[in-house]
């Protein structure tokens, strides 16, 4: 339910500000996405460099990095997720309060990265939790992380509050907690969460 842009500008010249509740709500949400301080490996250093004075993520609204998952809106999975760490990552995601978003930063978080052939490397965190933005790179530059944050902000800005395509946190029946994998004798059990990561079937 958007307002006509031309009408907005005309009214704005008269000193009247017109908007819709959805735009206002989404603007507030996307302008203050607080990440969780969760660095796993090398990409974490680029994440820290993004918070420093040169690339300053604070001007995009990601002001404070909260160590506690209860107080964070977004989790930046920066670095390789190993099978030993994967249950902890899923638990932390479950403990975050809705609305919550995930940015998979770096090749390792997307698909295992350069360490893909490994007995301890989880080939992508999107096997267990839904990921909103993927950033390729090894490590991606701080500017790439900023662009990912802007992409996420655009995504949040376009979310509808009502209707079929409303986001998960406004849907009472949607699943917000994901099952935590167990560490078995040889591998994680289950190896992936089929609800989140369905293996596609190619029919040519």
Partner 1 sequence: MSAPWTDISMKLARQEGWNRPPVVEPDGEGELLELAMGPHHPSTHGVFRMDVVLDGERVIKLKPVFGYLHRNHEKIAEGTSYLASMPYTDRLDYFCSLTNNWAYALAVERLSGQEVPERAEYLRVILAELTRIQNHASTIGFLLQEMGASGTPLMYAFREREKILDLFESLTGSRMMCNYMRFGGCRVDATAAWLAAARKIVAELPAFVDEFETFLRTNEILMARAQGMGVLRPELAVNAGITGPMLRASGVNYDIRKVDHYGIYDRFKFRVPLGDHWDIYDRYMVRMLEIRESIGILEQALKDIPSGPVMDPKAKIRGFRPKPGESYGRIEAPKGELGFYLISDGSPSPYRYRVRPPSLINLTVLEDMCLGHNVADVVLIFGSVDIVLGEVDR
Partner 2 sequence: MKTVNEIKAAIEAAVPGAKVEMVTNPGPSGQHSLLLDRTTAAAVAVFLRDDPELAMDFLSNLTGVDWLDKEITEKVKVPKQVVKTVEGVEQTVEELVEETRKRVEPGYLETVYHLYSMAKKHGPVVLRLRTANRTDKTNLPSFTPVWRSAEFQEREVFDLYGIVFDGHPDLRRILMWDGFKDHPMRRDYVEPDDFEYEPTAHDEVLARAQAHRAAVGMGITPQETGK
Rg (CA), the chain: 19
Query: Taking contact as CB under 8 A, which single stretch among the options 1-9, 80-88, 128-136, 191-199 is the one that binds partner 1?
Result: 80-88
Q: Which is nearer to partner 2, 74 or 86 (CB)?
A: 86
CB atoms within 10 A of CB 139: 23
Whole-number minimum distance, CB 148 to partner 2, in Å?
Answer: 23
Rule CB under 8 A: say whether 170 interacts with partner 1. Answer: no
Q: Please, what is the minimum distance in Å from the beta carbon of residue 143 to partner 1?
A: 11
11 touching partner 1, by CB under 8 A = no
183 part of the interface to partner 2, by CB under 8 A = yes
Contact stretch for partner 2 (CB under 8 A) within 23-31, 133-141, 172-180, 186-194: 186-194
Report the candidate in 202, 195, 173 with the shortest Cα–Cα distance to residue 127. Answer: 195
Of positions 20, 88, 175, 183, contacts partner 1 by CB under 8 A: 88
Q: Does 84 bind partner 2 (CB under 8 A)?
A: yes
Q: Does 187 bind partner 2 (CB under 8 A)?
A: yes
Q: How far is the CB of 44 from partner 1 (least distance, A)?
A: 7
The site for partner 2 (CB under 8 A) is made up of 83-84, 111, 117, 119-120, 123, 183-187, 191, 199-204
């Amino acid at each position: 339910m958007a307002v006509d842009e031309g009408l907005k500008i005309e009214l704005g010249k008269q000193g009247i500000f017109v908007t819709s509740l959805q735009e206002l709500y989404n603007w507030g949400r996307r302008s203050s996405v607080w990440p969780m301080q969760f660095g796993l490996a090398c990409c974490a250093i680029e994440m820290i460099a993004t918070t420093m004075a040169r690339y300053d993520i604070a001007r995009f609204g990601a002001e404070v990095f909260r160590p506690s998952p209860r107080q964070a809106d977004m989790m930046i999975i920066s670095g390789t997720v190993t099978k030993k760490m994967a249950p902890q990552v899923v638990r932390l995601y479950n403990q975050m309060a809705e609305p919550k978003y995930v940015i998979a930063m770096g090749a390792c978080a997307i698909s295992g990265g350069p360490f893909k052939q490994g007995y301890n490397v989880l080939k992508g965190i999107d096997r267990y939790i839904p990921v909103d933005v993927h950033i390729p790179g090894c490590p991606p530059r701080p500017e790439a992380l900023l662009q990912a944050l802007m992409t996420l902000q655009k995504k949040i800005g376009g979310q509808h509050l009502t209707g079929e395509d409303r986001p998960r946190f406004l849907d009472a029946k949607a699943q917000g907690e994901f099952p935590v994998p167990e560490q078995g004798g040889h591998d994680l059990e289950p190896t992936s969460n089929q609800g989140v990561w369905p293996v596609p079937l190619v029919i040519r």
